[in-house]
Amino acid sequence: MKFEWHQGLIWVPITVVYGSTPIRIPNCIIDTGSSTTMIDIDLVEFNYHKPALIKRLFGIGTGKQEVLCQQVDKVIIDQFELEAVEIEFGTIKENYGINGFVGNDILDQFILTIDFKQQIIDFKFNP
């Protein structure tokens, strides 16, 4: 999968299937420093009636943020579909200019090979 390299970060699109609706989320970063995955809440029709956990995240910039964690139907990255994934929803686009980040909760399911020169990231399921 081709990625964009700017601001010292790897930028990729992902697709989230939320409430049976696939939503393409461009401008997400691969974040090996994050234990979880998050997308901006304004990019989905968030279902406030669906059970959610409220979490407080630390380490976004210098602050903290409360987010809502819900299970989504699928997360699709490259050609791989991960079902019943819990992700966090919060406000990150306004403050950080990104639509989301893919954290280690998803990345640890893969063997990743990154070719910075060709700007290619190769995902293979981790057996």
pTM over 0.85, yes/no: yes
CATH number of the domain enclosing 25: 2.40.70.10
Burial of residue 8 (CB within 10 Å: 0-12, 13-18, 19+) is exposed
Burial of residue 37 (CB within 10 Å: 0-12, 13-18, 19+) is buried
Q: Which domain holds residue 10?
A: 4-125
pLDDT at 62 over 70: no
Sign of the four-CA dihedral 66, 71, 18, 10: positive
Question: How confident is the model over 63-119, as pLDDT tens digits?
Answer: 778 899 999 999 999 999 999 999 999 998 987 889 999 999 999 999 999 999 999
| Total tally of structural domains belonging to the chain | 1
Cα–Cα distance measured from residue 38 to residue 12, given in angstroms and rounded to the nearest whole number? 14
Question: How confident is the model over 17-50, as pLDDT tens digits?
Answer: 999 999 999 999 999 989 999 999 999 999 999 9
